Amino acid sequence: MSGCCLSFRRFAACFAAGFAGCLAACSPPGPAAPPVPTEPAAGVTQPEGWDGELTLALPVDLNPDPHILEFELDARVAEVEIAPGQSVSAWTYNGSVPGPLIRAQVGDRVIVHFTNHLPEATTIHWHGLRVPNAMDGAPGHTQEPIAPGASFHYEFTVDDAGTYWYHPHLDSSAQVGWGLYGAILVEDPADPDAFGDDLVLVLSDLSVDEAGALLPADNGGEFGDLFGREGSVLLVNGRILPTLKARVGKPQRWRVINAARARYYNIRMPGHLLTRLGGDNGLAARSEELYSIVVVPGERADFVFTPQGEPGVAEILQWVPVERGFGTVFNRPREPMLNVEIVDLPAVLPEPIPRELRRIDPIDVSGAAEQRIELTIVTDSDGAVVMGINGDPSWEAEPLHAQVGETQIWRIGNQTDFSHPFHLHGYFFQVLDDARIPEWKDTVNVPTASELAIAVRFDDRPGMWMFHCHILDHAESGMMGHLMVGEH
């Protein structure tokens, strides 16, 4: 920024009022006023090779039908390069971290021929997708674990636009923590399309020792289980501090997925407002401008980044510590995640982003049954810490019940010292909170010492489903429950 736009507050006000108006108001005095962009962003493309360091692997589609995506997927240990000259032996889908990006349109069929080449059994859960129960990847409930050397055939239709992801559901803290996750993007051609170019950003971290080898999954012992294991290096699309190219005024739509086993992200781009469009399950009812966006484990964020600043300057996307209880931010610095290089091209005028994005009617909760779900961490008579739901670890818990077609209100309480990201399989929900912009979700943060209510409508996919904390160390330590959705 230069001239009278120097102050960030002023800049933010200008941004909210529209960039063109800002530049007009910010004209002389001062010799350094930037030229006023006149060309609209719609007429220009992103800088050449803009996302070249962030490219995700794609699956090889074996099916000629454009509405069927059919491919082979395997899980195997492979060497992956996380920075120039720095490789780790990770757990991968098809040899890459993240695994291949599944990109589909609403109504498409996805067929995955999966083979497990890991030394351990595994399953795949399609996080957020409303798949049939048998495809949900919940071991013991919907399928047997897939043993080393064995295969499983996943097949489902994707009916809802949004940003989703896939990951193992067996020993998930270890398996996800070592690199097993991939992105799924489902697009609806009917959605408004003025948001700029899509970029899928899978955020994760890895625990590596000084020699660069992956630490054992249970590093830190019980403390690791209790606090949740945050890795020592941050990865964006499997790379440490990759570089993205951007042009002033040319919007980019970022689809962010938090695939870390425990880390909360507060994403901040100094000097920029981000326009949030939605999150887990497609667009929210309205867009909103934010200085930072919190994305908890398992959750997604969908927003527009409109680059500002001087060409030639690198901006840095930051990870900002998030208080998630018990001193989790104490003495922790911000960390850089992504370099954004503002290229030396003339600035362009961003397109306005619509305020109203999608009609979302509130779920009708009149007469809805209520369930109480308390996230618990208790000490048993032997002094051992037991994480669970309503006091019971998952292996002792009785399932909750619902009926196909029923609407329920779930009151989720958290009197523990930690915040917990709550995730429900199989069904979308709405958070009952008038202060929030209406949107569909499958994962929501329940802060320490709080309670929130969600409304869930159980559509016609009966079976045994799961819900749990998405700090995977907590889930594997027992903070996971079961839900039987029955047919009349």
Residues 381-420 that bind Cu ion (CB under 5 A): 420
**Is position 474 an interface residue for ligand C2O (rule: CB under 6 A)?**
no
Q: Considering the complex, state which of residue 94 and residue 258 has its C-beta at the smaller distance from ligand C2O.
A: 258
18: left (phi over 0), alpha (psi -120 to 50) or beta: left
**Is position 125 an interface residue for ligand C2O (rule: CB under 6 A)?**
yes
**Is position 468 an interface residue for Cu ion (rule: CB under 5 A)?**
no
Residues 293-332 that bind ligand C2O (CB under 6 A): 298
Q: Considering the complex, state which of residue 306 and residue 414 has its C-beta at the smaller distance from ligand C2O.
A: 414
Residues 19-48 that bind Cu ion (CB under 5 A): none
Q: Considering the complex, state which of residue 245 and residue 468 has its C-beta at the smaller distance from Cu ion.
A: 468
Cβ burial of 431 (10 Å; 0-12, 13-18, 19+) is: middle
Distance (Å, whole) CA 398 – CA 255: 37
Question: Is the preceding peptide bond at 29 cis, omega within 30 degrees of 0?
Answer: yes
**Is position 358 an interface residue for ligand C2O (rule: CB under 6 A)?**
no
Given a contact cutoff of 8 angstroms between Cβ atoms, the answer to whether 262 and 324 are in contact is no
Binding partner of residue 272 among Cu ion, ligand C2O, none, CB under 5 to 8 Å per kind? Answer: none
Q: Please list the helix, strand and coil fractions of the chain in percent, rounded to the nearest 5, in that order.
A: 10, 40, 50
* Closest approach of ligand C2O to the CB of residue 182, in Å: 12
Binding partner of residue 471 among ligand C2O, Cu ion, none, CB under 5 to 8 Å per kind? Answer: Cu ion
Angle at alpha carbon of residue 396, lines to 395 and 401, rounded to 5°: 100
Contact with Cu ion (CB under 5 A): which of 262, 469, 472, 480? 469
- Give the interface segment with Cu ion, choosing from 108-116, 282-290, 425-433, 468-476 (CB under 5 A): 468-476
Distance (Å, whole) CA 80 – CA 204: 14
Q: Which residues contact 328 (CB under 8 A, 6 or more apart)?
A: 227, 321, 322, 418
Task: Look up residue 281 and give its DSSP letter.
Answer: T
Q: Considering the complex, state which of residue 22 and residue 444 has its C-beta at the smaller distance from ligand C2O.
A: 444
Binding partner of residue 167 among ligand C2O, Cu ion, none, CB under 5 to 8 Å per kind? Answer: ligand C2O
Given a contact cutoff of 8 angstroms between Cβ atoms, the answer to whether 298 and 472 are in contact is no
Distance (Å, whole) CA 339 – CA 335: 12
* Closest approach of ligand C2O to the CB of residue 354, in Å: 30
Binding partner of residue 468 among ligand C2O, Cu ion, none, CB under 5 to 8 Å per kind? Answer: ligand C2O
**Is position 425 an interface residue for ligand C2O (rule: CB under 6 A)?**
yes
* Closest approach of ligand C2O to the CB of residue 295, in Å: 13
Residues 149-168 that bind ligand C2O (CB under 6 A): 167
**Is position 177 an interface residue for ligand C2O (rule: CB under 6 A)?**
no
- Tell me the backbone φ, ψ of residue 4, rounded to 5 degrees: -75, -5
* Closest approach of ligand C2O to the CB of residue 468, in Å: 6
Q: Considering the complex, state which of residue 244 and residue 472 has its C-beta at the smaller distance from ligand C2O.
A: 472
Q: Considering the complex, state which of residue 125 and residue 482 has its C-beta at the smaller distance from ligand C2O.
A: 125
Sheet of 197-206, strand order: 233-236, 197-206, 252-258, 300-305, 274-279, 282-290
Q: Which residues contact 416 (CB under 8 A, 6 or more apart)?
A: 325, 375, 376, 377, 448
Q: Considering the complex, state which of residue 125 and residue 474 has its C-beta at the smaller distance from Cu ion.
A: 474
Q: How many helices (H) and strands (E) does the chain have?
A: 5, 29
Q: Considering the complex, state which of residue 438 and residue 447 has its C-beta at the smaller distance from Cu ion.
A: 447
Binding partner of residue 474 among ligand C2O, Cu ion, none, CB under 5 to 8 Å per kind? Answer: Cu ion
**Is position 125 an interface residue for Cu ion (rule: CB under 5 A)?**
no
**Is position 446 an interface residue for Cu ion (rule: CB under 5 A)?**
no
Q: Which of 306, 299, 302 is nearest to 200 (CA)?
A: 302
Binding site for ligand C2O (CB under 6 A): 125, 127, 167, 169, 298, 423, 425, 466, 468, 470
